[in-house]
Structure 1
Amino acid sequence: EILFNLGPPPQFMLLLTGIPGQENVYLWISVPFCLMYIISIVGNSVILFIIKIDSSLHEPMYIFLSMLGVTDIGISIASIPTILGMYLFNCREISLNACFAQLFFIHSLQCIESSVLLLMAFDRYVAICNPLRYASILTLPIAAKMGLVCVLRGMAAMFPLPFLLKRFQYCRANVLSHSYCLHQEVMKMACLDITVNSIYGLFITLVTVGLDSLLILLSYVMILKTALTVASHAECLRALNTCVSHLCAILIFYTPEIGFLSMIHRFKKKALPQSEILLSYLHLLFPPVLNPIVYSIKTKEIRKRIMNIFKNYSTNRLQWGH
């Protein structure tokens, strides 16, 4: 019997998908994604720069805000390049290993962002409910350790995902329904039983994002209860006003995930495929874009320093002009 060595089998490639039926305007669709990418990177970088150079902002609240900014930059870098590659250059193919790496970073960073929002809720809880002990409870070393735990927790929770997927043989349709990789989509392309992956994915979601959202809700129930017991109405509003930026960040992060996406999956047969894809973009890409805008507008210290930067820049230009 003669055996012919034809080399290793071709690598299984996945195909990314854009917005169905809009192939003729992909170039124009790439424009808002380019703008979102620029706004996310520049906006979060400006906030990080301001917090770094201003020693008066070296407080737990702004340390957590810095972590949120770094996480948002990471999400943008992990997801938008493949989206732009598909819409701009029609680069639809992605290898399994690249897909595994992308889904690991996307899921890890989203888990870390959820944890950071929980830390920020805890910061507001201590500041409003126990203001006299705030400085002793939330010191900078403690805040740094809490942040490190959140990062390690997110990475440890998602670390098994690529290995759980790598053990499979893939033989089903290789077309993703998004222009980036997610664990719940890739595992459906496997030839073998995916029960372990499904159970682990659900378990991790419940003990990370699910638990974080419940603890954030509990924190704000306690904050509201404390604020309503304050004798002065003005003091109550002042206390709650310090939470506005964080509440906006919570709504931006959790509303698409818990509300819109669950509705789309519930009425999946009736919903247009474009709706599901647009909502997935909303869920993934809006927090990195809107968070720096919200904090620049609603946080007085950040807004004041950004205005000073523009003011100094304008003054210097006038001086150079003369």
Structure 2
Amino acid sequence: MDPLPPSRPRRPGERALRDLGFPPRPELVPSSVARFPDGGTWRTELPSCEGPAVLDAVLAESERLAVPLHRISQGSGVWMLTDAEIGEMVAACEARGAELTLFLGPRGSWEQGGGGRAYVSSGPRARGRDQLAQCVEDAERATGLGVRSLLVADEGVLWTLHRMRAAGRLPADVTFKVSALVGPVNPASFSVWERLGADSLNVPSDLTVAQLAEIRAVSAAPIDFYVEAPDDLGGFVRIYDAAELVRCGAPIYLKFGLRNAPALYPVGRHLLPAAVESGRERVRRGRLVLDTLARLGADEGMSPIGARDPGPLRRFPDEPAPVMS
């Protein structure tokens, strides 16, 4: 039996407009009936948490402002952290029931082939066999240190890691998250990324609620969505849309990003004060999102803290590669 769709949240300002004689707003976008395995419709994510010092500040601020965090993600990459730093972050997140996600490996825009270009050829993707192998190295190292969620920006890397997971070369409970840098923008591409091994997928924050519903109609894979996007991802601020994002996009991770913030990648001690303060402000932005959901009567349905299972998803079959003579 299909689950019942969620109740419709109150739309901002609609009661006043109706009382002034405005015609009702047309209801055209269907509600999602998909759910996380725990029955929840939404979870939270705090992105760009670059290292233990930033993580400590974020966790303290999330406790102070009562902002629950299901997932905390990092963007500089596994290779920018020492083993001790990764271990410290794993332990801190485990103690709070938060999933730690680390970005994989070098990316095309960072290597020698990226110098002096007037265009971006491979961008965040892994450029050449060596960068593919380096991402694999990052994945093996991170999972060996206890990380169970990896952020991927290349479809070849994703398919390779999924095959390794299926073969037992990576832990069976490791999950793969598709980066916002390559997020799919239509139902077909979203479905392809899911079948390549993705367990949750960032989509661009300029997609309409109707476009999210189109994606949800073909896939139950969790959507990751910047409610506030950083400037290099468009700088969109969609706090008032959060209730509709949940209603039409569930299961969904609401990401608390930050526009008008300094660039941090790759982070280091020279950027630490900005990284810490940006992390604290992302938590405050999360509080704004949660308060808005509550005012609109749409704050029910959050997954319990500690939930990370994406549920059963569809995959391409793995076939042996042909032998090239």
> Do the two structures share a fold, i.e. TM-score over 0.5?
no
TM-score normalized by structure 1? 0.26
Name whichever structure is richer in strand by fraction: 2
Q: Which has the higher helix share?
A: 1
Query: Which of 1 and 2 has greater Rg?
Result: 1
